[in-house]
Amino acid sequence: MKVSQTSVTGCLLFTPTPVSDERGFFSRTFDVEVARAAGLDPYAFVQDSQSRSLRGVVRGLHVRRGRGEAKLVRCPWGAIFDVVVDLREDSPTFGQWQSFDLTGDNQQSVYIPAGCAHGFQALTEPADTAYRIDREHDPTEAATFAHDDPVLAIPWPLPVTVMSQADRTAPTLAEAGITLPDDAARR
């Protein structure tokens, strides 16, 4: 398994090496020693969750207030356009975002550090998204920001088909009082 630093500080891309034959493939999707070598505490993850989304669905941009939460996200079936937005004011990449094409074929995982917002769009019918999370869920700490915030200008690849009410009515970063630096590079 290869680990790569991304353009967002602390956000890591894990790329496994699937073994394929006439039966299909086998892929290691998590390895304690690889996580530890990448600087992560592999035992910090306390919850695994999964969502299934229809093509065009957008979930996010979600972040957790307080201490935040770190996530390890992958798409075991289908394909998603996955987005990480750095909202950590003390980070050198504050205000930057990066997208990833996570698929059941590439089996890549993205480590999203606490303080970064996360969202994705399902590109297939259906797309499953698996999350490994380092804190128990607390709905009182949940925050959602507009997926179509004009300052971020994220180029979602498909027309949005369905969103939750909370995601549809989410404020922009500016409406939430978050001012991004003028020179923050968007990606």
Q: So which residues are the catalytic ones? A: 62, 131
What is the rounded CA–CA span in Å between residue 99 and residue 82? 5
Which letter does DSSP use for residue 166 in this model? Answer: H
Q: How many CB atoms lie within 10 A of CB 157?
A: 12
> Is the CB of residue 145 less than 8 Å from the CB of residue 173?
yes
What is the rounded CA–CA span in Å between residue 156 and residue 81? 8
**Among 138, 146, 152, 129, residue whose Cα is nearest residue 64:** 138
Pairing relation of β-strands 12-15 and 97-103? unpaired
Q: Which residues pair with 86 in a beta bridge?
A: 116
